[in-house]
Homo-oligomer: A and B are copies of this chain.
Amino acid sequence: MKAIILFGHGARDARWREPFDRLAKLWQEQHQGTPVQLAFLEMMQPSLEDAVSNLSAQGATQITVVPVFFGQGGHLRNDFPVLLEACQKQYPNLTLSATPAVGEDLAVLQAIVDFGARAI
């Protein structure tokens, strides 16, 4: 079974995660056969490892991690691959993969442009 992890940075303020919760809900409504988990790099739970563990317990065998970041800086280039590799070692029977950051996607950028255009 396929599953998806939406991986965000995390923040001290609990309200920061609201769009992430909304994102997971949207995903689950539209892709009911593909379980989703949020995961955070720091300051919020669950960790990537906990999310992988949870999905594995649900029967996931192929997990795609989507970094919900705009830019690909040190967090995604350095910290994230280390975390992902550690998860892969811990769950050798899972197929773990990752996409580029969502900010690399033209449709995401276009949605931001359109949001700005409606606001001016």
Contacts and interface: CB of A to CB of B under 8 A. Distances in A.
Name the interface size band of chain A. 35 or more
A117 to B, nearest CB: 6
* Copies of this chain, count: 2
Given A4-B116, A31-B117, A116-B4, A104 B19 contact: yes
A109 interface: yes
Given A31-B117, A73-B13, A74-B12, A68 B23 contact: no
A90 interface: no
Interface in A1-36: 2, 4, 6, 8, 11-13, 15-20, 22-23, 26-27, 30-31, 34
For the complex of A and B, the 10 pairs showing the least CB-CB separation, nearest first, are A16-B73, A16-B71, A19-B103, A13-B73, A11-B73, A111-B111, A108-B111, A99-B119, A105-B115, A66-B116
